[in-house]
């Protein structure tokens, strides 16, 4: 039987390792966005490279659970980290569109495996009474890593192989930290199957919303840094602006959660979409001065980040409690499909209409989702929803922490999917 101090130390190690991974991941995402411009990739291939991570991540999120069950948590973590480190190192040597597309997809697959391994491991270690607190710390660490990874952009020459070496080192450090921790794999449990058509009929707003939220966020985070690089904006400024977007996402989580637990989630989603569209159009109309754009980018990041969690919560309101994992899995797939299409379609708009094309595309997608959500709210009643422990969902991260918990640990109905301890009574 493990002591409480030993268990908490292992939980802390997992959280710290994941923060390091997200530090590397935040840096990596913006780095690739800048490099496709520097390497002058043709528009279609640039879009495919930028979409590659999301494709690999989606496949990994769905498939890597079986790998973990077969070989155990430590070996799986080592294998996934090895895939990421190998693919990242190879990108510095094979600077061509097709190899980068394949390697970037492998990075996405490996990162999904790392997150699923860590989160299921945390789920096994954390006691039910402290689970909300543990996942709160985990996702705040995720946000912090993603945010501060942006600040590395201005400190290294992105044209060289040095950034890839830094990223490899951060992933390898996380591997060392976790592989020196004793594994306690969670007990496998049977999960009821859920046909996709059943979810689409029960919660069409959630399915469409998950796809469009992935589309919007991936287009923004993949393409905005690329455009700023092409415009000659200093890299320190690019990092600061992307940092503002991520921190804006963190700031919106709790207040939006409280609203979504108080009102019809579809109306809240429509309001978020309106805010997202207004912020995107405003950003397109502002003067090309980064410091003027900073607060608007923070608002846009906030609105974008809150779309997916509200969709998750709405879907759980519509479905039985024993389907929580299956529901979340399908929503990850929907979000992943949207995330793949975002950069691929958005890059064509950027090459043809400059940044404004991307921003208007984001605004159009947000308006489409908002109109659909509000229209559905007029023709069908909102289901009752009960608060449950809240998990913050970070952009470009793993919306998985809430997916891996045993639904019997939660309330019969599922509130907003965010990460603040239940004791704080905050809800997404």
- Measured in residues, the chain has a length of 428
Rounded Cα distance between 398 and 417, Å, is 13
Per-residue pLDDT of the chain (428 residues), as tens digits, is: 455 666 677 778 888 888 889 899 989 988 998 898 888 888 889 889 999 999 998 888 888 878 887 888 788 889 999 999 999 999 999 989 999 999 999 999 999 888 888 877 777 666 666 666 676 677 778 888 888 888 888 776 788 888 999 999 999 998 888 877 765 555 555 555 677 787 788 889 989 999 999 999 999 998 888 888 888 888 888 888 888 998 888 888 778 878 888 888 899 999 999 999 999 999 988 877 777 888 999 999 999 988 988 888 888 787 776 666 677 778 888 888 898 999 999 988 988 888 899 999 999 999 999 999 999 888 877 766 545 444 555 445 444 444 444 444 443 334 554 433 333 333 33
Distances (CA, A) of 312 to 359, 403, 425: 25, 10, 19
Give the domain 4-183+196-424 fold. Answer: Growth Hormone; Chain: A; (1.20.1250)
| Phi then psi dihedrals of residue 353, to 5 deg | -120, 10
Which pair of structure tokens corresponds to residue 359?
A: 């921003």
pLDDT score recorded for residue 324 = 64
Q: What is the DSSP letter of 413?
A: S
Rounded Cα distance between 111 and 114, Å, is 5
Contact of 308 with 294, CB cutoff 8 Å: no
Going from N- to C-terminal start, the domains of the chain cover: 4-183+196-424
**Where do runs of H (alpha helix) occur along 72-203?**
73-93, 97-125, 131-149, 162-179, 196-202
pTM over 0.95: no
Q: How many other CB atoms are found less than 10 A from the CB of residue 167?
A: 26
- The dihedral through the CA atoms of 373, 324, 127, 61 has a sign that is negative
Contact of 153 with 34, CB cutoff 8 Å: yes
Rounded Cα distance between 3 and 224, Å, is 48
């Amino acid at each position: 039987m493990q002591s409480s101090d030993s268990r908490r130390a292992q939980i802390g190690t997992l959280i710290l390792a994941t923060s390091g991974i997200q530090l590397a991941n935040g840096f990596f995402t913006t780095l690739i966005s800048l490099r496709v411009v520097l390497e002058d990739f043709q528009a279609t291939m640039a879009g495919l490279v930028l979409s590659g991570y999301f494709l690999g991540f989606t496949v990994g999120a769905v498939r890597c659970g079986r790998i973990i069950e077969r070989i155990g948590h430590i070996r799986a973590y080592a294998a996934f980290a090895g895939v990421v480190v190998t693919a990242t190192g190879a990108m510095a040597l094979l600077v061509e569109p097709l190899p980068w597309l394949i390697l970037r997809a492998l990075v996405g697959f490996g990162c999904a495996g790392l997150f699923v391994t860590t989160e299921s491991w945390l789920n096994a270690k954390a006691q039910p009474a402290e689970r909300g607190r543990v996942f709160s710390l985990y996702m705040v660490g995720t946000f912090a890593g993603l945010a501060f990874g942006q600040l590395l952009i201005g400190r290294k020459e992105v044209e060289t192989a040095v950034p890839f070496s830094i990223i490899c080192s951060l992933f390898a450090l996380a591997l060392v930290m976790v592989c020196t921790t004793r594994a306690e794999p969670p007990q496998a449990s049977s999960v009821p199957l859920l046909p996709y058509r059943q979810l689409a009929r029960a919660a069409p707003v959630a399915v469409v919303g998950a796809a469009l939220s992935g589309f919007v966020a991936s287009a923004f985070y993949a393409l905005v840094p690329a455009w700023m690089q092409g415009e000659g904006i200093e890299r320190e400024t690019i990092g600061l602006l992307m940092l503002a977007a991520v921190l804006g996402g963190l700031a919106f989580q709790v207040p939006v959660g409280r609203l979504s637990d108080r009102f019809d989630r579809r109306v809240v989603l429509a309001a978020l979409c309106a805010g997202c569209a207004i912020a995107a159009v405003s950003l397109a109309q502002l003067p090309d001065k980064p410091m003027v754009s900073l607060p608007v980018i923070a608002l846009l990041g906030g609105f974008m980040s809150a779309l997916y969690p509200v969709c998750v919560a709405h879907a759980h309101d519509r479905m039985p409690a024993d389907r929580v994992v299956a529901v979340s899995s399908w929503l990850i797939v929907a979000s992943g499909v949207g995330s793949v299409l975002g950069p691929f379609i958005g890059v064509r708009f950027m090459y043809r209409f400059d940044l404004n094309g991307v921003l208007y595309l984001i605004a159009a997608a947000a308006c489409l989702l908002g109109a659909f959500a509000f229209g559905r709210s007029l023709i069908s009643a909102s289901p009752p929803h009960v608060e449950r422990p809240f998990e913050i969902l970070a952009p470009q991260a793993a919306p998985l922490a809430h997916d891996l918990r045993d639904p019997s640990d939660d309330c019969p109905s599922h509130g907003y999917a965010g990460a603040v301890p239940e004791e704080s009574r905050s809800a997404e």
